[in-house]
Amino acid sequence: MGHRNRASDPATGRDARPPNPAGTADGCTAHGPGGHGGPVGHGRPGEEGPVGRGAVVPDPAPQPPDAVHDTAGSPPRASGRGHDPEGHGPVRGHDPVGHVPVRGHDPVGHGPVRYGPQMPGDGLPVLPELSAVLAAAAGRVREEPAGGATALLDAASGYWDRRGLPTGPGHLAAAPGPGALLLALTAALGGDVLVPRPCAAWWAPYARLLGRPVFHVPTPAESGGVPDPYALLETVRRVRAEGGEPRLLVLSVADDPTGTVAPPELLHETVEAAVGEGLHLVSDETWRDTLHDPHATVLLSPAEMLPEDVTVVTDLAGALLPPGWPAAVARFPASAAGDGLHARVLDVLTALGARVAAPVAAAAGYALGEPEPVTIRRSAAVRLHARVAAAVHAAVVAAGATARPPQAGRHLYADLGPLRDALGAEGVGDAQELEDFLTARLGMPAPGGHRFGDDLPALRVRLGTGPLVAADTEARGAECLASPEPLELPHVQRALTGLTSVFDGLRDAQRGEPPR
C-alpha cells in the first residue's frame, strides 16, 4: 500500500481525536444505537487507552431500556469461539456493565434500538407504476420462499449484470430489508465484526443481537464509509493479540451517514488489507445509484476488485422502493466458499421467517428490472436531492460549522464543534443534546453523531434532505421533480430559509452578535 493520510475526523477531514475514555459505541444505551462513542482505548491506532497501553475493548452488549450511560470498561469476552458444523457459531453473551445516570438525559426514548434513526427518506410520493404493481399483487396468498422467488432473483441478477458484476440467481438472496441479511451474514460468518467510524446506525445492533464484539476503525480524511487501511491493520493486530477473532468487515463505498464516496485507490488499499488478514467483506451499496454527479464521481464496488471475498448488500429503499416497502438483496461470491455462505444465510433467513411479502416482492422485481418510469424517477429524485443537499451544505458551512460536500444519498454529516459556545448557551453540550435541540428547532429528525458510533461529546449530526422536500402529494412531488429551480419552490424555499436561520443564529451567537 502507498502512503495515505492518517485517520481523520469523519465530518471535517481533520486528524482523528483521542478516544473517549468513558465512551462506548452502538450499545443500546441512553443515546440510541450509536452508543456514546468509541470502544475504550480504541481511537487512533497506536494511542494509549485508559485500560492499558494499546488495549482494544469491544463495544458493550445491549443494555435494557432503563440503562442510562455506560461507564468506562467493557464486558469480558465469552469463552468458546468454536463453531458448529454449519458455520453459524454459538451465540455469545456479555455480562452487563455498570451504569450511572447522565445529567439531562431521559433514558426513555433515547436508549433502545427501536428509537434509532431511520433511513433518510426522499420526501416524495410513491411512483404510480410501482403502486400499480403492488396493488396487482395484493391478492397473492402464497408466501415467497426464504431468499426470494425466481422472478425476483432473476430481476436482481439483471440489475447486477448491468453494473458489470455478472451474477447468477443462485448467488443471490432477498430479504425483507437489509437488516435480516446482515444478521444472517454475521451469524453465518461468526467471529468479531469491524466497522468504520462513523457508520450506518443499523449495522452494529445485529452483531450485538448475536453477542458479537464490534470494533470501530477510523476513516481517512477523504471520505467516510471505508476504514483507513493502516488503522484497519493495527486494529486487527490488537484484537487478535487480546484473544479476539476478527472475521467480518462491513463498509460502504457510498456512505451513510457522511454522504461521501470513497476514492477507488483508498478502497483498493483497504480491501487488500482486509482480505490479506482473512476478513470477509460485506459491502453496503444501498446508495450506489444516488451519485449527485455521476460524471465526476468514480464509484467502484469491492466486489469488482476481489470478488471471491465480498458479499454485496443493497437496500432497495436507497433508490428503487419506498422505505415502507422493505426489500433488500445480497450478492454472494461465485465460489465454493460463496456457495457455502449463501446456503448458511438461507438457513438463517428460513429460521427467522424472513421472507419478502409477495406484493413487495412483485414491486421489487419490477423496480430491479429498471423500466423507464423507474429510471426517470430515480434520476430526477437524485438531481433534486443533490440540489437541496448542496444548499444545506452551503448553509452549514456559512454558519461556521464544517462538513464534507455530499456526493451521494439524501443526507450530509456536519460537525458543529466550531459553534460549541453558542450551543452551550442553549444547553447543548453533547451529541444527544444537539440532536434534541436541532430536531426541535428544525422541525425534522437530526440524529446526533453518537447514533453512528461517533463520540458523545463531539457535536456532530446527520441532516437529511427528504424533510426539506416534503412533497407529500403527487402534484407537489411532480412539481419538485420537474422544476428546473426546485430551491425556488415556495415550500422548499421556506424549509431552507428556516434551516439557514437556525444556523445563522448560532453563528451570530458564537460571534457575540445580537440576534437579527
Nearest CA among 84, 280, 323, 60 for reference residue 185 = 280
In the chain, list all ranges with CATH 3.90.1150: 373-511
pLDDT of residue 154: 98
CA torsion, ordered 261, 263, 266, 271, to nearest 10 deg: 60
Task: Report pTM.
Answer: 0.81
- Exposed/middle/buried for residue 365 (C-beta within 10 Å: 0-12, 13-18, 19+): buried
Residue type, 118: Q
Q: How many Cβ atoms are within 10 Å of 136's Cβ, its own excluded?
A: 13
Nearest CA among 415, 403, 396, 488 for reference residue 458 = 415
Q: How many Cβ atoms are within 10 Å of 391's Cβ, its own excluded?
A: 20
Residue type, 425: A
pLDDT of residue 88: 34
How do beta strands 246-251 and 214-218 pair?
A: unpaired
pLDDT of residue 381: 97
pLDDT of residue 474: 82
What interhelical angle do 264-276 and 229-241 show, nearest 10?
Answer: 20
pLDDT of residue 51: 32
pLDDT of residue 56: 55
pLDDT of residue 89: 34
250 secondary structure, DSSP code: E
pLDDT of residue 403: 97
Residue type, 277: E
pLDDT of residue 8: 53
In the chain, list all ranges with CATH 3.40.640.10: 184-318+329-353
pLDDT of residue 471: 77
CATH of domain 184-318+329-353: 3.40.640.10
Whether the CB-CB separation of 476 and 494 falls below 8 Å is answered with no
Per-residue pLDDT for the chain (516 aa), expressed as one digit of tens each? 544 444 555 454 444 433 333 333 333 333 333 333 333 333 333 333 323 334 455 554 433 333 323 322 333 333 333 333 333 333 333 332 233 333 344 444 455 556 678 888 899 999 999 999 999 999 998 999 999 999 999 999 999 999 999 999 999 999 999 999 999 999 999 999 999 999 999 999 999 899 999 999 999 988 999 999 999 999 999 999 999 999 999 999 999 999 999 999 999 999 999 999 999 999 999 999 999 999 999 999 999 999 999 999 999 999 999 999 999 999 999 999 999 999 999 999 999 999 999 999 999 999 999 999 999 999 999 999 999 999 999 999 999 999 999 999 999 999 999 999 999 999 999 999 999 999 999 999 999 999 999 999 999 999 999 999 987 778 888 899 999 999 999 999 999 999 999 999 999 999 988 776
pLDDT of residue 72: 29
CATH number for domain 373-511, candidates 3.30.70, 3.90.1150, 3.40.50, 3.30.450 = 3.90.1150
Nearest CA among 74, 382, 494, 42 for reference residue 231 = 42
Cell 439483471 locates to 158
pLDDT of residue 110: 54
Report the alpha-carbon distance of residue 214 to residue 94 in Å, rounded. 12
pLDDT of residue 116: 75
